[in-house]
Structure 1
Amino acid sequence: MITDTFDRRTIAKMEVALERACLLLPISGEKYRPRRIIASKIVECAYRGETTLGSLTDAGYAAAMQLIASAQSVRKKEKEIAD
Protein backbone atom coordinates (compact mmCIF):
# COMPACT_ATOMS: atom_id res chain seq x y z
CA MET A 1 0.00 0.00 0.00
CA ILE A 2 1.19 3.49 -0.78
CA THR A 3 0.86 4.66 2.83
CA ASP A 4 3.36 2.00 3.85
CA THR A 5 5.90 3.28 1.32
CA PHE A 6 5.77 7.06 1.76
CA ASP A 7 5.59 9.33 4.77
CA ARG A 8 2.64 11.64 5.43
CA ARG A 9 4.41 14.69 4.10
CA THR A 10 5.19 13.02 0.77
CA ILE A 11 1.64 11.71 0.45
CA ALA A 12 0.30 15.21 1.13
CA LYS A 13 2.55 16.61 -1.61
CA MET A 14 1.40 13.87 -3.97
CA GLU A 15 -2.23 14.79 -3.29
CA VAL A 16 -1.55 18.47 -3.97
CA ALA A 17 0.27 17.58 -7.19
CA LEU A 18 -2.66 15.43 -8.31
CA GLU A 19 -5.19 18.18 -7.66
CA ARG A 20 -3.06 20.75 -9.49
CA ALA A 21 -2.60 18.50 -12.50
CA CYS A 22 -6.30 17.66 -12.67
CA LEU A 23 -7.08 21.36 -12.98
CA LEU A 24 -5.57 21.18 -16.47
CA LEU A 25 -8.10 18.59 -17.60
CA PRO A 26 -11.20 19.71 -19.44
CA ILE A 27 -14.37 19.15 -17.50
CA SER A 28 -15.92 15.94 -18.73
CA GLY A 29 -18.12 13.12 -17.54
CA GLU A 30 -15.27 10.72 -16.93
CA LYS A 31 -12.96 11.83 -14.16
CA TYR A 32 -11.77 8.61 -12.52
CA ARG A 33 -9.61 7.20 -15.35
CA PRO A 34 -7.64 10.41 -16.05
CA ARG A 35 -7.09 10.98 -12.32
CA ARG A 36 -5.88 7.40 -11.94
CA ILE A 37 -3.42 7.80 -14.82
CA ILE A 38 -2.08 11.08 -13.47
CA ALA A 39 -1.81 9.64 -9.97
CA SER A 40 0.17 6.66 -11.25
CA LYS A 41 2.69 8.97 -12.91
CA ILE A 42 3.03 10.95 -9.68
CA VAL A 43 3.59 7.73 -7.73
CA GLU A 44 6.23 6.63 -10.25
CA CYS A 45 7.99 9.95 -9.72
CA ALA A 46 7.94 9.47 -5.95
CA TYR A 47 9.27 5.91 -6.27
CA ARG A 48 12.24 7.35 -8.18
CA GLY A 49 12.98 9.45 -5.10
CA GLU A 50 11.76 12.70 -6.65
CA THR A 51 9.50 13.79 -3.81
CA THR A 52 9.60 17.58 -3.95
CA LEU A 53 6.28 19.25 -4.64
CA GLY A 54 7.75 20.69 -7.83
CA SER A 55 8.86 17.31 -9.16
CA LEU A 56 5.60 15.63 -8.30
CA THR A 57 3.59 18.47 -9.82
CA ASP A 58 5.69 18.40 -12.98
CA ALA A 59 5.05 14.67 -13.32
CA GLY A 60 1.32 15.28 -12.89
CA TYR A 61 1.31 18.12 -15.42
CA ALA A 62 3.18 16.00 -17.95
CA ALA A 63 0.66 13.17 -17.55
CA ALA A 64 -2.26 15.60 -17.89
CA MET A 65 -0.78 17.12 -21.03
CA GLN A 66 -0.31 13.65 -22.54
CA LEU A 67 -3.94 12.82 -21.82
CA ILE A 68 -5.10 16.09 -23.38
CA ALA A 69 -2.94 15.57 -26.48
CA SER A 70 -4.19 12.01 -26.83
CA ALA A 71 -7.82 13.10 -26.57
CA GLN A 72 -7.25 15.84 -29.16
CA SER A 73 -5.66 13.34 -31.52
CA VAL A 74 -8.62 11.01 -31.18
CA ARG A 75 -11.07 13.85 -31.82
CA LYS A 76 -9.10 14.94 -34.87
CA LYS A 77 -9.14 11.42 -36.33
CA GLU A 78 -12.85 11.10 -35.63
CA LYS A 79 -13.48 14.38 -37.42
CA GLU A 80 -11.41 13.27 -40.41
CA ILE A 81 -13.42 10.06 -40.62
CA ALA A 82 -16.70 11.96 -40.39
CA ASP A 83 -15.70 14.40 -43.15
Structure 2
Amino acid sequence: MSDFDDRTQANMDVVLDEVCAELPSGGDHESRKFVAEQLIQAARAGKTTLGELTYIGRRALVHLKKSSAEREQKSNGG
Protein backbone atom coordinates (compact mmCIF):
# COMPACT_ATOMS: atom_id res chain seq x y z
CA MET A 1 0.00 0.00 0.00
CA SER A 2 1.30 3.43 -0.97
CA ASP A 3 1.93 6.22 1.53
CA PHE A 4 0.54 8.71 -1.00
CA ASP A 5 -2.76 9.37 -2.72
CA ASP A 6 -3.16 8.61 -6.42
CA ARG A 7 -2.57 12.20 -7.57
CA THR A 8 0.63 12.58 -5.56
CA GLN A 9 1.92 9.23 -6.79
CA ALA A 10 1.13 10.20 -10.38
CA ASN A 11 2.90 13.54 -9.95
CA MET A 12 5.95 11.79 -8.52
CA ASP A 13 6.01 9.30 -11.40
CA VAL A 14 5.78 12.06 -14.01
CA VAL A 15 8.53 14.12 -12.42
CA LEU A 16 10.83 11.11 -11.99
CA ASP A 17 10.46 10.21 -15.66
CA GLU A 18 10.87 13.81 -16.89
CA VAL A 19 13.91 14.53 -14.76
CA CYS A 20 15.65 11.25 -15.49
CA ALA A 21 15.01 11.67 -19.22
CA GLU A 22 17.68 14.37 -19.08
CA LEU A 23 20.25 11.83 -17.90
CA PRO A 24 22.15 9.55 -20.30
CA SER A 25 19.95 6.53 -21.12
CA GLY A 26 17.28 7.78 -18.73
CA GLY A 27 19.57 7.51 -15.73
CA ASP A 28 21.17 4.54 -14.06
CA HIS A 29 19.56 2.79 -11.11
CA GLU A 30 21.42 4.81 -8.48
CA SER A 31 20.57 8.14 -10.11
CA ARG A 32 16.88 7.26 -10.43
CA LYS A 33 16.87 6.03 -6.85
CA PHE A 34 18.40 9.29 -5.62
CA VAL A 35 15.79 11.39 -7.45
CA ALA A 36 12.97 9.13 -6.24
CA GLU A 37 14.15 9.40 -2.64
CA GLN A 38 14.22 13.19 -2.90
CA LEU A 39 10.66 13.18 -4.27
CA ILE A 40 9.43 10.85 -1.52
CA GLN A 41 11.02 13.01 1.15
CA ALA A 42 9.40 16.13 -0.31
CA ALA A 43 5.99 14.48 -0.58
CA ARG A 44 6.17 13.32 3.02
CA ALA A 45 6.91 16.95 3.96
CA GLY A 46 3.68 18.00 2.20
CA LYS A 47 5.11 19.12 -1.13
CA THR A 48 2.82 17.18 -3.44
CA THR A 49 1.92 19.46 -6.33
CA LEU A 50 3.44 18.92 -9.74
CA GLY A 51 5.23 22.27 -9.50
CA GLU A 52 6.71 21.58 -6.08
CA LEU A 53 7.84 18.10 -7.03
CA THR A 54 9.28 19.32 -10.32
CA TYR A 55 11.36 21.86 -8.41
CA ILE A 56 12.64 19.13 -6.07
CA GLY A 57 13.35 16.79 -8.97
CA ARG A 58 15.28 19.42 -10.90
CA ARG A 59 17.27 20.30 -7.80
CA ALA A 60 18.16 16.61 -7.41
CA LEU A 61 19.22 16.54 -11.06
CA VAL A 62 21.52 19.53 -10.55
CA HIS A 63 23.05 17.75 -7.56
CA LEU A 64 23.64 14.59 -9.63
CA LYS A 65 25.21 16.51 -12.50
CA LYS A 66 27.42 18.49 -10.14
CA SER A 67 28.57 15.34 -8.35
CA SER A 68 29.26 13.64 -11.67
CA ALA A 69 31.30 16.59 -12.93
CA GLU A 70 33.32 16.68 -9.70
CA ARG A 71 34.06 12.94 -9.94
CA GLU A 72 35.11 13.33 -13.57
CA GLN A 73 37.35 16.26 -12.75
CA LYS A 74 39.07 14.26 -9.98
CA SER A 75 39.58 11.26 -12.24
CA ASN A 76 41.20 13.52 -14.85
CA GLY A 77 43.71 14.76 -12.30
CA GLY A 78 42.00 18.09 -11.72
Query: Please, what TM-score do these two structures have when normalized by structure 1?
Result: 0.85
Structure 1 stretches of 5 or more lacking a match? none
Equivalent of 1:23, from 3, 21, 25? 21
For 1:12, the aligned partner's letter is: A
Alignment correspondent of 1:7: 5
Could you tell me how far 1:27 is from its partner in structure 2?
3.3
Structure 2 stretches of 5 or more lacking a match? none
Structure 1 stretches of at least 4 aligned residues deviating more than 3 Å after TM superposition:
none
Alignment coverage as a number of residue pairs? 78
Alignment correspondent of 1:48: 45
Give the structure with higher Rg (CA).
Answer: 1
In the alignment, the residues of structure 1 paired with residue 63 and residue 24 of structure 2 have an alpha-carbon distance, to the nearest angstrom, of 13
1:77 has 2:74 as partner: yes
Equivalent of 2:64, from 47, 67, 70? 67
- Percent identity between the aligned chains? 35
The secondary structure found in structure 2 opposite 1:50 is: coil
In the alignment, the residues of structure 2 paired with residue 31 and residue 14 of structure 1 have an alpha-carbon distance, to the nearest angstrom, of 18
In the alignment, the residues of structure 2 paired with residue 52 and residue 35 of structure 1 have an alpha-carbon distance, to the nearest angstrom, of 20
